[in-house]
């Protein structure tokens, strides 16, 4: 099988697939149109997020048997078209679930205990204790939306902090020793921390909007390591200003490029969007990281290994 690698990943992908007699070609620079022009020559594609695999792309790939996404999210792929064309879709959420879960905990601890703020103050000769009094995770009810790989890994860690973890998921009967499944209405009633662990779909685009925030009974901390467009940023900013959202931990932003390589430039944002972005970047009530929750040295290797294992299991007939 001939496989086209469109993004740089851990070298074990190349090493192990070559050992299994797959034919590999790396192309990390060609444009979308250039890749479309040659994709019919390949049986498989391995990608992160560099270019969209839309209807046009997939129809050019008349010989494609699989697409392997090194990561969890599949929104850059036209899934209905791929399924109609019989292209197998592979991803690797198992590979970075632990990284994401630790990132969630880390951001919450930094935000709730004002660790970054206090550290910067001390480094600048400012010694404030009462002003930096923290808020404990112990005893809080944490509501997760989505209970797949990321949600479960996060719940496992939160349980060690003495939290009550509840979650909402569209699939039934997912409760385990770390978290209890509830209705969305019950989650809104009880959660004091809200964390998203969902893909970006038509149903989850702007899931967290003005109405959702207003329906939360408690003032709450908000965490998003999923996708920026799961929440409507202008309403998050309004809620931060009013105090309804006590603080926000954001590893993803609505204003990211589809490749996740950077933010869209301020010139492509409306005046309101730019003001909201600047508020998040400058507010002490928000922690913002550059879409790195799933990026550790360990997860880079694990993501690659999961992809290789799934490809070999499906297409290696030795």
Q: What is the pLDDT of residue 318?
A: 62
10, 114, 227, 232: which one is catalytic?
A: 227
- Are residues 57 and 85 both part of a single domain? yes
- Are residues 42 and 151 both part of a single domain? no
d(CA 307, CA 232): 32
Whether residue 305 is contained in a domain is answered as no
- Are residues 131 and 146 both part of a single domain? yes
- Domain with residue 182: its CATH number is 3.40.50.720
Active site residue 256: yes
- Are residues 123 and 188 both part of a single domain? yes
What pTM does this model have?
0.93
- From 45, 68, 91, the end of a domain falls on 91
**Two tokens, residue 295:** 């990026």
Active site residue 272: no
Please state the φ and ψ torsions of residue 124, each to the nearest 5 degrees.
Answer: -105, 20
The number of distinct structural domains making up the chain is: 2
Whether residue 308 is contained in a domain is answered as no
Whether residue 124 is contained in a domain is answered as yes
- Are residues 140 and 283 both part of a single domain? yes
Burial class (CB in 10 A: 0-12, 13-18, 19+), 4: buried
Whether residue 312 is contained in a domain is answered as no
Whether residue 301 is contained in a domain is answered as no
Whether residue 269 is contained in a domain is answered as yes
- Are residues 60 and 150 both part of a single domain? no
Q: Is 284 left (phi over 0), alpha (psi -120 to 50) or beta?
A: alpha
- Are residues 106 and 12 both part of a single domain? no
Q: What is the pLDDT of residue 261?
A: 77
- From 39, 67, 91, the end of a domain falls on 91
- Are residues 113 and 188 both part of a single domain? yes
The stretch 247-263 carries a mean pLDDT of 88
Could you give the residue ranges of the DSSP H alpha helices within the chain? 12-19, 32-38, 55-60, 79-84, 97-112, 115-123, 149-159, 184-190, 210-215, 233-242, 271-282, 297-315
The overall longest dimension of the chain from CA atoms, in Å, is: 66
Render pLDDT for 59-97 as a digit per residue (tens, 0 to 9).
999 999 999 999 998 999 999 999 999 999 999 999 999
- Are residues 119 and 266 both part of a single domain? yes
Over 60: is that where the pLDDT of 283 sits?
yes
- With beta carbons less than 8 A apart as the criterion, state whether 200 and 109 touch: no
Over 90: is that where the pLDDT of 162 sits?
yes
Whether residue 131 is contained in a domain is answered as yes
d(CA 56, CA 175): 41
pLDDT tier for residue 220 given thresholds of 50, 70 and 90: very high
Mean of the per-residue pLDDT values for the chain?
A: 95
d(CA 90, CA 174): 23
Whether residue 311 is contained in a domain is answered as no
**Two tokens, residue 272:** 């309101």
Q: What is the pLDDT of residue 265?
A: 65
55: domain range?
2-91
């Amino acid at each position: 099988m001939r496989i086209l690698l469109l993004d740089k990943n851990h070298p074990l992908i190349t090493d192990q697939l070559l050992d299994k007699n797959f034919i590999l070609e790396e192309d990390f620079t060609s444009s979308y149109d250039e890749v479309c022009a040659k994709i019919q020559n390949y049986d498989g594609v391995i990608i992160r997020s560099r270019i969209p695999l839309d209807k046009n792309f997939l129809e050019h790939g008349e010989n494609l048997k699989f697409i392997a996404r090194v990561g969890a999210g599949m929104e850059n792929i036209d899934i209905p078209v791929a399924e109609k064309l019989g292209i197998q879709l592979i991803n690797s959420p198992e590979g970075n679930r632990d990284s994401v879960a630790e990132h969630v905990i880390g951001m919450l601890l930094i935000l709730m205990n004002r660790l970054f703020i206090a550290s910067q103050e001390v480094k600048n000769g400012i010694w404030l204790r009462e002003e930096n009094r923290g808020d404990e995770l112990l005893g809080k009810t944490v509501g997760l939306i989505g209970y797949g790989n990321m949600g479960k890994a996060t719940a496992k860690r939160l349980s060690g902090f003495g939290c009550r973890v509840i979650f909402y998921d569209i699939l039934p009967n997912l409760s385990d020793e770390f978290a209890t499944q509830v209705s969305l209405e019950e989650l809104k009633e009880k959660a004091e921390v809200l964390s998203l662990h969902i893909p970006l779909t038509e149903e989850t685009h702007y899931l967290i909007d003005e109405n959702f925030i207003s329906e939360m009974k408690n003032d709450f901390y908000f965490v998003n390591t999923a996708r920026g467009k799961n929440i409507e940023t202008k309403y998050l900013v309004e809620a931060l200003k009013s105090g309804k959202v006590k603080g926000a931990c954001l590893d993803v932003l609505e204003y990211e490029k589809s490749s996740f390589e950077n933010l869209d430039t301020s010139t492509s944002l409306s005046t309101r969007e730019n003001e909201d972005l600047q508020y998040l970047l400058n507010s002490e009530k928000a922690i913002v990281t550059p879409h790195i929750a799933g990026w550790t040295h360990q997860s880079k290797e694990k993501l690659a290994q999961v992809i290789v294992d799934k490809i070999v299991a499906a297409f290696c007939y030795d």
